[in-house]
Amino acid sequence: MIGRVVAQDCSSPARTRETFANYLSCMKQTLDENYGLYENEFREHSRRAALTCFAPTIEEGNRKDRCVLSANDLNQVAWDRHGPLRDCTLCRTFASGALKAFKSTPPEEQKCIRTEMSKAIVREADYCIKKQIPGFVGLPELPDIEEKSYTYRDSVITSLSNHIIILSRLSFCKERKPTRAANTNSCLRKPFPGYLSEHCKVFSKCDSLIAVGSCARTIPQSRKAMCQCINGARDELKSKISSIYNVFNDLLTGREATAIGSSNKVDICVSNVKKQMVTKANDWVSVIDSAINTCVRKPQGQNLGLDAMLNVGCRKVFADTTGTATSQMKIAFDFINNLIDALVERSGRFCGEQCIKS
């Protein structure tokens, strides 16, 4: 256990990596001691931040130049018929299925998935950090900071729902009133005194134990670079997901050369979508499929991979005769991007931006 100040060595990139691993372990150990405290603070403070930074009515939004979101809006569930997916029945069906799968997946399988996804996140961050820090030898294996979350999974789901609704409303506002969205988003970074103060105590404790001596500058530098690069990877992935809409649109409007026959069209559709999910560090379709196949005990004959889902999605798009397929796709991809944002926000609270004195 890390509980006292010991000599820390950041005299070389390899030593810095070892010490940064100790720093991350310190954070995990501290969180594990009272995980419920931090989970509740994150959920409650995030809701309070939204109610502080958004205006509750259109009139007040006009007066304060803020986006509008009421307490009643936050009481909705992001994936039900009153949430951001209200105009996409198929999206709600998929989201509900994913939610049921999450709730019924045993804790050891959830941990396995987090571990596999964490490896991919490290690859993304390593690629980026090596361009920022000369001689950087790579991140250590990230500890599973969500290991205790299974007990609080209902709270986690509520928190994700709140974040998706907040981000969806912010995105809607940005399209129409970009200045208001910027004002609201700026407020959400530091919404009120004492925001996530219990989380800040974790940083203070681990900084005082680990970020000392020759590590006083290098450990905060490593943490900042890691967080910036994870955010950059998030933005790149979101951009690629948004571009999938254009892939479908081009196929539907005939701008993409397709072979005769619906089966060939579907194959081309799946292939083109998968190409959009490749970054310099990862093929995210393969990453997700590999995590599912490695970690989840599937019923015999059932395919839970993204390939199967993409195949179904492409077939439904080409079978659509109502003209609503493209608008529903946009809703779906916006929702996925907001979910990614919400998940990164959960990790981002451990970057400590809210703890920096302005």
**Which tens digit of pLDDT belongs to each residue from 53-75?**
999 999 999 999 999 999 999 99
The pLDDT of residue 36 is 96
CA 334 to chain centre: 13
Report yes or no on 245 lying in a domain.
yes
How many separate domains does the chain show? 1
Report yes or no on 8 lying in a domain.
no
Q: Which residues pair with 219 in a beta bridge?
A: none
The pLDDT of residue 357 is 66
Structure pTM? 0.86
Average pLDDT, the chain: 87
Tokens of 52: 């502080």
Report yes or no on 40 lying in a domain.
yes
Instruction: Say if CB 160 and CB 154 are below 8 A apart.
Output: no
Instruction: Show the domain range for 242.
Output: 13-355
Q: Which residues pair with 278 in a beta bridge?
A: 283
CA 143 to chain centre: 17
Report yes or no on 126 lying in a domain.
yes
The pLDDT of residue 299 is 58
Q: What is the mean pLDDT of residues 157-164?
A: 94
Amino acid sitting at position 273: V
Look at residue 300 and tell me whether its pLDDT is greater than 60: no
Q: What is the mean pLDDT of residues 241-269?
A: 72
- Cα(200)–Cα(49) distance, integer angstroms: 16
At 307, the pLDDT band (50, 70, 90 cuts) reads confident
User: Could you give the angle at which helices 325-348 and 306-319 cross, rounded to 10 degrees?
Assistant: 150
Report yes or no on 316 lying in a domain.
yes
At 1, the pLDDT band (50, 70, 90 cuts) reads very low
Report yes or no on 7 lying in a domain.
no
Report yes or no on 4 lying in a domain.
no
Q: Considering only residues 157 and 330, tell me which one the structure prediction assigns the higher pLDDT.
A: 157
Tokens of 21: 């691993």
At 325, the pLDDT band (50, 70, 90 cuts) reads confident
The pLDDT of residue 128 is 92
Q: What angle do CA 68, 239, 159 make, to 5 degrees?
A: 45
The pLDDT of residue 304 is 61
At 297, the pLDDT band (50, 70, 90 cuts) reads confident
State whether residue 68 is helix, strand or coil. Answer: strand
Tokens of 282: 């990862």
The pLDDT of residue 259 is 47
